[in-house]
Structure 1
Amino acid sequence: MPHPPRRHPLPATLFSILVLPFAATAAGGPDADASADAAGHAATLDTVTVTGTRATGRTVRESAAPIDIISAEDIRAANATSLLDVLNTTVPSFNLPLETGDLNSMVRAGQLRGLNASHVLVLIDGKRRHSTALLGAGGFGGASPADLALIPTGAIERIEVLRDGASAIYGSDAIAGVINVVTNKRREGGNVSYRDGQYFAGDGRARVIQADAGFGIGDGGYLHLAAQIDDQEATDYTSPARDSFLYYFPRDAAGNPVRPGGNQASNPTLPAGATADPREATRDNHAWQNRGIRAFRTKTATANASLPLGATTEAYGLLTLAKRDAWAPQNFRQPLRNEVVRAIHPDGFAPTEHLDEEDGAFTVGVRGQLGEWDWDLSSGHGRDTIDINLHDSINPTYGVDSQTDFYIGRLRYSAWTHNLDLRRRLQTGWLAAPLEFSAGAEYRDEGYRIGAGDLQSYTHGGQPVLDGPYAGTVLGAGLGGAQALPGFRPEDEVDVSRNSSAVYAGVAADVGTRWRIDLAARHERYSDFGSETTGRLSTRFEINPRVALRGTISNGFQAPSLAAQAYRNTSNGNFFTDHVVQAGSPQAVALGAQPLRPETSRSVSLGIVAEPWIGTSLTVDAYRIDVDDRIALSTTFREGLYPGTGALVTSVGLGAQDGVRYFINAADTRTEGVEATLEGRFDLGRGGNLRWTLATSHTRAEITGLADTPAVLAAYDVPVFSQGSQNELLYKAPKSRQVLGLDWTLGRWRAGLRQSHYGTIQRYGSPTTVATSGPYAGQAEIAYDIGGIWITDVQLGATLVGGWDVAVNANNIFDRKVTRLPEPLLAANEYYRYANGGPIDGSGGAWSATLRYRW
């Protein structure tokens, strides 16, 4: 499928621990009616949550753990293109780095408390959500997180973000916290809305169409349907090419093409006595267009239903469907390069990666009461399938017989999860209130597949260079396959599966009227690596009606994903081939690899909840999370980087100049932080109502242990986990984040202001050539900061007669852009480059207008 034109015509209750909601737009529960929207939101502290404990739901005020509540109205006010962006806007502890890489820029992922994206467990109505099929989503190495961008925001009643470890309740992945998406279950009424907007620069148009409606069925049942279409066009802030950077072969005195000076691919220059090709004067200096927001179109739908089966029993179900097409333009290949077949692309080419994704999930269950027991029996299946294509590319080793469009291969992940949850209250003679006991069991089957691409997408056709001064040159193995993204080979194909089973129990008790204790334990067994047992103790003590202390101590784990264990791939570079080999393969074992172990964690937190004055709340929470055996890719080693390692590579049957890496348990880390929220309301009398929130998050991370370098690599001074990789593990998130939110309402009118500050975001880069003079002299690794950014968002809206509503939003109204890279880190073709991987990029500010009708 061709990529889109640049323009279109117009169109659970888990733990209780530390902090209280500090989302800039933390608000009340469901968007129940027009008057609730106009009046603002129900008080966050009084919202009953279903995340963080298996005891009966408690309000955020009573929670022993920090929970953020994001309402449907908060989601709309965020003016965001996906649920990931909503969380990034409203929750200071959540970080969504913007990547401009390959596939991981189209399947994005965020992190909580500075940990890995896969350290956050995602639930839908309290049930585990399946993972994406793309390993490394969002640039997070060995992560295969759930894809929040495929959940339609229009189908959500509220989001509960638990910022605390919860493996003892939910199992693997809940190391940093849990995000529970609570879907809309209204039996009547509905919404239809249309949003249109673009970036201030005139590009990146974004349109969103949402619709949802509720229907009563049977005697007390409901069916709620929702659908959404998102259409995002690309932005482009790539530097134009330097005038000195050649596109075409230089000419000698007779006008014949000659070889350029310098590096043909990365820095071609005029050799002595040659002149530039006349076509350089009319070339497209904006041929590189691969930095900016990626274009995508998603279509999502949900169906949520419940039907009473008797006085105390009901059947329920949830279906979610998603279809996504996304496009990522890649580097331009100028026509003088050997990987260009000039008979096909006389002026060069810029490939575009295309992701065609289908995602679906359903959960069905029956729940009710049997005597003193509440029970819930459910089964859910989810599957994510990604077909990868490449357009406007070439396999130069096939010459004029090369394809220009390639099928790269297929990724598929599936999970089938079955749960039985039991709960009852037990009267005791020594507790003021009944003891709440819960127990249950879970069984899950997972599967992961990789399918091969077109023959030409990964093979070497044997054709030498056809024309120009390099005519007849034999193209190396690194140029075999589709340029920009070679296909998966038959030897890369995998079809693996595993199962896991778990039993768990919990007890929650009120000791007197002020002290609450919540205990949970879980034992989980995996068919591929063994068992893990986790536990959690959470408590809250009320000093007086306006001040309470809370804290949690727990351990957790994350199972190595099937993808990280099974993934292998071969990619081509200009002069060598790079291999990712399976950690358990004979090749990897011969090069020092060990079987992957689960990541394990220990966390402790302590906080205070207070009401400094009537109508306000203050929460302050401090935490420490130690994670051992974090999974990441090893250092890439090859002859060109580490002399002598070519012999190691050839010893396992690969090319002498090839690069090799594999997944390892790379490091132990410690993350410490403090989160605080102060929020309240002012009644302005005839001037309306003002709701305000001030939230802050501070994080510090360090590596406390590194994997031992295998002797086979140490013999060649190859660090198994390089300094650059360590930096990548530690410094994705800002060291601090502050959000000030102001929401004013007066009758049908409303206005909002959100001021966000991102603290230091440390980055490192290695120059191609180390400078001998200037501010970067002698620096083989250059540190730079892409944080220190203030962003201002505003909203104006009004509820009109007849169920209509209108809103105008502007995000980043002062058009702030991320830092540009230090000069030594630029490519030879660039005048500048905006850094990537931060909270914003070079796209700048954006505006939108939304028209909504409710009935």
Structure 2
Amino acid sequence: MLPTHHRLPLALAIVSALSLPLVAHAAPETNASAITATSTATLDTVTVTGTRAQGRTVRESAAPIDVLSAEDIRAANATSLLDVLNTTVPSFNLPLETGDLNSMVRAGQLRGLNSSHVLVLVDGKRRHATALLGAGGFGGAAPADLGLIPTGAIERIEVLRDGASAIYGSDAIAGVINIVTNKAARGGNVSYRDGTYFAGDGRSRVVQADVGFGIGDGGYLHLAAQLDDQHATDYTSPARDTFLYYFPRNAAGTAIRPGGNQASNPTLPAGATPDPREATRDNNAWRNRGIRAFRTKTATANASIPLAATVDAYGLLTLAQRDAWAPQNFRQPLRNEVVRAIDPDGFAPTEHIDENDGALTLGLRGQLGQWDWDLSSGYGRDAMDINLHNSINPTYGLDSQTDFYIGDLRYSAWTYNLDLRRQVQTGWLAAPLEFSAGAEYRDERYRIGAGDVQSYTHGGQRVLDGPYAGTVLGIGLGGSQALPGYRPEDAVDVSRNSGAVYVGVAADLGSRWRVDLAGRHERYSDFGSETTGRLSTRFALHPRLALRGTISNGFQAPSLAAQAYRNTSNGNFYTDHILQAGSPQAIALGAQPLRPETSRSLSLGIVAEPWESASLTVDAYRIDVDDRIALSTTFREGLYPGSGALVTSVGLGAQDGVRYFINAADTRTEGVEATLEGRWDLGRGGSLRWTLASSHTRAKITGLAPTPPVLAAFNVPVFSTGSQNDLLYKAPKSRQVLGLDWTLGRYRVGLRQSRYGDIQRYGSPATVAASGPYAGQAEIAYDIGGLWITDLELGATLARGWDVALNANNVFDRRVTKLPEPLLAANEYYRYANGGPIDGSGGLWSATVRYRWD
């Protein structure tokens, strides 16, 4: 067992367990509950407060907040909302992955924690999760997919950087991102952006349009649509000249077997000569390192209609369709997994997802006596069909398909909310108490559907030709190459429900001291209950200086996908199994049912106005998260001798690999965030708005899940060192952003300078070097941070609503570091490191033309 969870006193939680399965979170921003907004005195922004009480400005908030306006989003020159946040918010990190499905559905992290530790709201309502488990390379995470929310439909983004599970429920361990959509009842906007990377590839085009209409007396309908078309970049190393594609020839000119490893490092045997086709081969047959190509079509409809003097009906519909492609490793023709009669020069498979995503929220809000109330119901669904093109199942020989349906993933959630708020006069406080309460009920469903029969089966065909003719193809080669399909035994269709109640009280204890107390109790049908509490306070030492702080506990329920997921995939030499954590097979191999991740957070900060029209915030925090969920170590006979007996004991093959999801570790993340911003009036020289933001973090593991005795008997660590490093080191240890925005009449210039600090990575070489700088190193450390990135915008507002802009991101064409030599594959001269804030694509330029009307 991991160390016992520490919980805040129940006095902080306020709410006791109720049998009614209800929960609540934020009502829409326009109803001034949950995340609410007001204008600041010094900056042209609106702000969130992280409280259900009346809104406070950034300087008056008890929690650290980032706010991005629609203009900030446009100036980021990014192809998705994820890239916008990564460019502009120092505490947000978006690792760039070049792998399988998780490179097409990306995910970011806040404060260095998991992507699913951030709760995403749209107009104050919980956003449904993606159907893809492990999106963005985050193991057991199934976060909301910010890449499917159109940037052109957004009025602003509010990022609360503080634990807030007691206010909003599960997932809000690191913070909350609230997307506030455009609700204008008039006017509109049409824009077109086109650009490419400096290398000439990766063309990116974005078309946006939105328009507002008034409805009746005070109602509105706002429509928005967007098309994002991103072409791929490619910075893959060409193949080494010594790396063979075709079978070598003996003195008689007959094809013979290569030396070395046939698949990963084929070499020329003594006395043999290369096949003449090696001279004309495509040395750039590998094209799988770079930004993935995608095409996303999105639309939103946002409406509100007055039904009575104090009652409005409202609704929000979001729709998205995405196609994305991920090229995979080239299979050279001398490999046994190539049917040479179909692909005489080899093949490079491409994974493809066809995704449809939608959400609809309908509600009523109004006033009843002294109560403000909001009653809503929302449904969200993500449906993903997975395909594989230009591949093969060699065990079917000439009868093999070359295109495969891999299977489907489905996730859906129904969410029902009731939120109440009122002010209560006490007689002993100068200002009224602000009281909030509510409930929520949510039904979730997750499904995996099987793929084509050939995508996962072994057809029995032997190698047809060449020096390996007649060789039996191992079980690991049965299935579509690059991505085997989901099998019928992997198919699942599961559901669960959850509910909670919450209470919040905020009070001004005099003119300088503000206290905000919240408590929440949630109950899940599959693992039980959690109670959370939060106490936030702010004390003004001076009109220009205040202290603020928060203490809270939180939790994240194991995702329905992580609890239900099962997958069987064929490698070249063995079959790999991910077992359901609660299945009899997994339990026999040491697994336990997944427990929720729980957290304890503490933050302290200062808010100051060092001079007129300037604002300074500094916040220090510590977040302890227990029972973090991740995949266990893969164990099999080839890695841990003797463990094959364990695998066969549960009915699997002797050489098969096994892993399952576990509550792997406890972690502690500490950091300091600071923001200094302001505006200078330069008189006839225009005006300059500037921002300097910085984030510093460090993380460590404070506890590890004990290795089950059944694995310890074969020296199998349940959570390997490499997995521990991946849990800790995805985000840079520090990040700084300097932003300068100068305007003079209709002209503007924007400059953003970003610095990414150290990002530690580890890799294991195929062969440990006996000499040289990496001698004896079974695990090699390298750094993919230490980067300075410069972005530039030149723009002008023209007559009659027209606007033009020229942007360059990464002006100096910086690239991520290359891997140390021992970590390269045999076919590579070099490889740019994976998983950093930038990749090997380099700089990007674009031009935008926009027409706006009132």
> Normalised by the size of structure 1, how large is the TM-score?
0.95
Picking from 544, 547, 558, the partner of 2:545 is 547
Matches within 5 A, 1:219-298: 219-298=217-296
| Alignment correspondent of 1:664 | 662
2:833 alignment partner, one of 826, 835, 838: 835
Q: 1:63 aligns with which of 54, 61, 64?
A: 61
Q: 1:478 offset after TM fit, Å? A: 0.3
SS at match of 2:723: helix
Deviation string for 1:753-775 (max 9, x for gaps)? 00000000000000000000000
Task: Provide the rounded CA distance (Å) in 2 between the counterparts of 1:435 and 1:771.
Answer: 68
2:768 to 767, 770, 784: 770
Q: Is the 8 A contact 1:45 1:60 kept in 2?
A: no
Aligned pair 1:486/2:517, yes or no? no
SS of the residue aligned with 2:279? helix
How many residue pairs end up in the alignment?
A: 820
Q: Distance in 1 between matches of 2:591 and 2:711?
A: 10
The code of the aligned residue for 1:566 comes to A
Q: Which moved more, 1:109-118 or 1:645-654?
A: 645-654
Residue identity in the other structure for 1:841: D
Deviations 1:512-564 (A, max 9, x none): 00000000000000000000000000000000100000000000000000100
Q: Which residue number corresponds to residue 151 of structure 2?
A: 153
Using the TM superposition, give the Cα deviation of residue 51 of structure 1 relative to its aligned residue in structure 2, in angstroms.
5.0
One-letter amino acid matched to 2:352: H
**TM-score under structure 2 length normalisation:** 0.95
Return the offset for 1:353: 0.1
After TM superposition, give the deviation of residue 52 of structure 1 in Å. Answer: 1.0
Q: Distance in 2 between matches of 1:47 and 1:84?
A: 21
CA distance in 2 between counterparts of 1:13 and 1:63 reads 17
Which residue of structure 1 lines up, in the alignment, with residue 849 of structure 2?
Answer: 851
Deviations 1:284-310 (A, max 9, x none): 000000000000000000000000011
Q: CA RMSD in A?
A: 1.1
CA distance in 1, matches of 2:617, 2:563: 41
Q: Output the amino acid matched with 1:742.
A: L
Structure 1's 43 and 658: CA in aligned 2 closer, same or farther, altered over 3 A? Answer: farther
Q: Distance in 2 between matches of 1:709 and 1:401?
A: 46
Query: How many angstroms does 1:626 deviate by?
Result: 0.1
Corresponding residue of 2:423 = 425
Question: Is the contact made by 2:46 and 2:67 (CA closer than 8 Å) also made in structure 1?
Answer: no
Equivalent in 109, 112, 115 of residue 113 of structure 2: 115
Instruction: Report how far residue 98 of structure 1 moved.
Output: 0.1
> What is residue 300 of structure 2 aligned with on the other side?
302
Identity of aligned residues (%): 87
Alignment partner, residue 509 of structure 1: 507
| Matches of 2:184 and 2:191, distance apart in 1 | 17
Whole-angstrom CA distance in 1 between matches of 2:272 and 2:431: 91
Q: Which residue does the alignment assign to 2:34?
A: none
Q: Say which SS state the counterpart of residue 62 (structure 1) adopts.
A: coil
Question: Is 2:623 the counterpart of 1:647?
Answer: no
Q: Which residue of 1 aligns with 2:195?
A: 197
Judge conservation of contact 1:93–1:737 (CA < 8 Å) in 2.
yes
Q: Give CA-to-partner distance per residue, 1:572-609, whole Å, 9 cap, x none.
A: 11111111010011110110000000000000000000
Which residue, out of 564, 573, 576, partners 1:575? 573
Residue type of the alignment partner of 1:180 = N
SS in 1 for 2:317: strand
1:480-506 alpha-carbon deviations (Å, 9 max, x no partner): 000000000000000000000100000
Query: Which residue of structure 2 lines up, in the alignment, with residue 6 of structure 1?
Result: none
Preserved contact between residue 48 and residue 160 of structure 2 (Cα < 8 Å): no
Which consecutive unaligned segments of at least 5 residues does structure 1 have? 1-11, 15-27, 31-41
Superposition deviation, residue 219 in structure 1: 1.4
Which amino acid counterpart does residue 593 of structure 1 have in structure 2?
A: A
Q: For residue 171 of structure 2, what is the amino acid of its counterpart?
A: D
Unaligned runs of 5+ residues in structure 2 are: 1-24, 28-36
Q: Pick closer, same or farther for the CA change 1:756–1:48 going to 2, 3 Å.
A: closer
Matched letter for residue 795 of structure 1: E
Describe the SS at the equivalent of 2:59: helix
Match of residue 344 from structure 1: 342
**Conservation of the 8 A alpha-carbon contact between 1:13 and 1:51:** no
- What is the match of residue 447 of structure 1? 445
Q: Please tell me whether the aligned partners of residues 413 and 449 of structure 1 are also in contact (alpha carbons under 8 angstroms).
A: yes
Match of 2:524 among 517, 523, 526: 526
Q: Is the 8 A contact 2:42 2:613 kept in 1?
A: no
**Residue 6 of structure 2: aligned partner:** none
Q: Which residues of 2 match residues 660-699 of structure 1 at below 5 A? A: 660-699=658-697
Q: Which amino acid aligns with 1:719?
A: P
SS at match of 1:61: coil
- The one-letter amino acid paired with 2:663 is N
User: Does the 8 A contact of 2:49 with 2:56 survive in 1?
Assistant: no
1:647, 1:48 → 2: CA distance? 62
- Residue in structure 2 matched with residue 86 of structure 1 by the alignment: 84
Structure 2 contact 49–57 (Cα < 8 Å) conserved:
no
State the one-letter code of the partner of 1:58. Answer: R
C-alpha distance in 2, partners of 1:787/1:807?
30
Q: Distance in 1 between matches of 2:774 and 2:38?
A: 53
| 2:128 corresponds to | 130
Residues 248 and 258, structure 2, Cα contact 8 Å, conserved in 1 = yes
Tell me which stretches of 4 or more aligned residues in structure 1 moved more than 3 Å.
42-51
1:13 Cα offset (Å) = 7.2
Structure 2 distance, partners of 1:656, 1:591, is 14
Q: How does 1:730-749 map to 2 (within 5 A)?
A: 730-749=728-747
1:816-835 alpha-carbon deviations (Å, 9 max, x no partner): 00000000000000000000
Residue 49 (structure 1) shift: 3.3
Q: Quote how far apart the aligned CAs of 1:47 are.
A: 4.2
Letter in 1 for 2:365: R
- Structure 2 CA distance for aligned equivalents of residues 619 and 498 of structure 1: 41
Aligned to 2:74: 76
- Aligned mates of 1:193, 1:44 — CA distance in 2: 30
Q: Quote the Cα distance in structure 2 between the aligned partners of 1:259 and 1:653.
A: 35
2:160 to 162, 180, 183: 162
Q: Which residue of the other structure, out of 432, 435, 438, is the alignment partner of 1:434? A: 432
Is this contact kept in 2: 1:312–1:368, CA < 8 A? yes
- In 2 relative to 1, CA 248–187 (structure 1 residues): closer, same or farther, beyond 3 Å? same
Q: Is the 8 A contact 2:77 2:807 kept in 1?
A: yes
Paired amino acid for 1:53: T
Given residue 586 of structure 1, which amino acid in structure 2 is its aligned partner? P
Q: Is the 8 A contact 1:239 1:831 kept in 2?
A: yes
Secondary structure in structure 1 of the residue aligned to 2:428: coil
Q: Distance between the aligned counterparts of 2:136 and 2:339, measured in 1?
A: 33
CA contact (8 A) 1:435 1:509 kept: yes
The answer (yes or no) to whether the contact 2:153–2:181 under 8 Å persists in 1 is yes
Aligned-pair CA distance for 1:430:
1.2
